[in-house]
Amino acid sequence: MSTTSVDKQPEPYGELAIQTIAMPAHTNPRGEIFAGWVVSQMDLAAGIAALDVAQGRVATVAINGMQFLIAVHVGAIVSCYTEVTKIGRSSVHINVEVWINEKKTFEPVKVTEGEFVFVAIDDSGRTRPMDK
Ligand SMILES: CC(C)(COP(=O)(O)OP(=O)(O)OC[C@H]1O[C@@H](n2cnc3c(N)ncnc32)[C@H](O)[C@@H]1OP(=O)(O)O)[C@@H](O)C(=O)NCCC(=O)NCCS
C-alpha cells in the first residue's frame, strides 16, 4: 500500500484497465488535476474488474486507504492498474494504482493507490451472491 513519500518503485502493479490523458477541463483552481477526477478514473477501472468478476451489475460500496503522493499535471498520461485481491460472497476487493509520466523526465511515477470494494447487486439493487 501507499507510503507518505513518492513511490520510487518504477513498476506499476496489476493489469492496465484504463489509460487516458489529463485535460484542462479537469483542473482545480491551482491548475493541477482535481483529485475527484482521478478517483472517478479509479472507480471506472475498478468497476471494469468488478464487472468481469461479478458478470453482472455492481455498485461501489467502499473506497479504502487512499492518499495522493504527487500532483497530476495537464497532459499527463494517466494509467489505472487493477488487481483483484479478494472475492467474497457478493463483494470483490480491487486494488487500484494510478501512474503518470513525470513531466520533465517522462519517467513513470505512482500518483496514488486505493482499495475499492464493489458488491454484486440484482435488478432491485439488493446484493446477490456472485455464483448466481
Ligand atoms: C451495496 C449495498 C446494496 C450493500 O448493502 P448492505 O446491506 O451493506 O449489504 P451487506 O451487508 O449484505 O454486504 C454485502 C457485501 O458487501 C460487503 N461490504 C459492505 N459494506 C462494506 C464496506 N464498507 N467495506 C467492505 N465491504 C463491505 C460485505 O462484507 C458483504 O460482502 P460479502 O457478501 O462478500 O460477504 C448498499 O450498501 C448500497 O446500496 N450502497 C450504495 C451503493 C452505491 O450506490 N454506490 C455508488 C455510490 S455513488
Average pLDDT, the chain: 93
Three-state DSSP at 42 gives helix
In this structure, the residue with its CA closest to atom 37 of ligand 1 is 61
Place of cell 513525470: 102
Backbone phi, psi, residue 92, to 5°: -135, 130
Q: Which of 93, 119, 131 is the pocket-test mutation for ligand 1 (most atoms within 8 Å of CB)?
A: 119
62 lines ligand 1 (CB under 6 A): yes
88 lines ligand 1 (CB under 6 A): yes
63 lines ligand 1 (CB under 6 A): no
Helices vs. strands in the chain: H and E counts, helices first: 1, 5
Give me the CATH code for the 24-120 domain, please: 3.10.129.10
Which residues, 6 or more positions from 109, have their beta carbon under 8 angstroms from its beta carbon?
6, 7, 70, 99, 100, 101, 102
Spatial separation of the C-alpha atoms in residues 51 and 116, rounded to whole Å? 13
- Which atom of ligand 1 is found nearest the CA of 125? 3
127 lines ligand 1 (CB under 6 A): yes
**Which pLDDT band holds residue 37 (cuts at 50, 70, 90)?**
very high
**Which pLDDT band holds residue 10 (cuts at 50, 70, 90)?**
confident
pLDDT one-digit tens code per residue, 55-97: 999 999 999 999 999 999 999 999 999 999 999 999 999 999 9
Spatial separation of the C-alpha atoms in residues 48 and 19, rounded to whole Å? 13
50 lines ligand 1 (CB under 6 A): no
Report which of residues 59 and 8 the model is more confident about. 59
**Which pLDDT band holds residue 8 (cuts at 50, 70, 90)?**
low
**Which pLDDT band holds residue 131 (cuts at 50, 70, 90)?**
confident
Q: What is the pTM of this model?
A: 0.92
Give the residue-averaged pLDDT of 105-124: 95
C-alpha cell at 22: 489529463
